[in-house]
Amino acid sequence: MEWEKKRFRKMFPNIYGELEGDIFPSVIDHLERCESTEQAEEVIDYFVRTGEITEEYGYFLKKSGVLKEIISSRKHGEYTKRGLK
């Protein structure tokens, strides 16, 4: 199924913006939305597996104790409130 660009942009403006080169959420943005350490570790593993972060950075995030400060620090909707698309 093919989508018309204009229709897709109207229906999914945030996804369209990300696909067109606007700001992409980083691993930290995703970790801020996690609700548990296990969920955060799954996100880190995914980013390492897809090559978006290095294994060393993933290991650092898991073992440095920084996860406890990051997890659940951002609630739903705050991404756009901070001026990010």
Q: What is the pLDDT of residues 61-75, one digit of tens each?
A: 999 888 888 887 766
State the DSSP string of 6-53.
HHHHHH-HHHHHHHTTSPPP-HHHHHHH-SSHHHHHHHHHHHHHTTSS
73 assigned to some structural domain = yes
How sure is the predictor about 23, in pLDDT bands with cuts at 50, 70 and 90? low
40 assigned to some structural domain = yes
Which residue's structure tokens are 């969920």? Answer: 39
* Whether the predicted pLDDT of 44 surpasses 90: yes
Q: Which residues neighbour 77 within 8 Å (Cβ) at sequence distance 6 or greater?
A: none
68 assigned to some structural domain = yes
Domain of residue 76 covers 24-81
**0.75 surpassed by pTM:** no
8 assigned to some structural domain = no
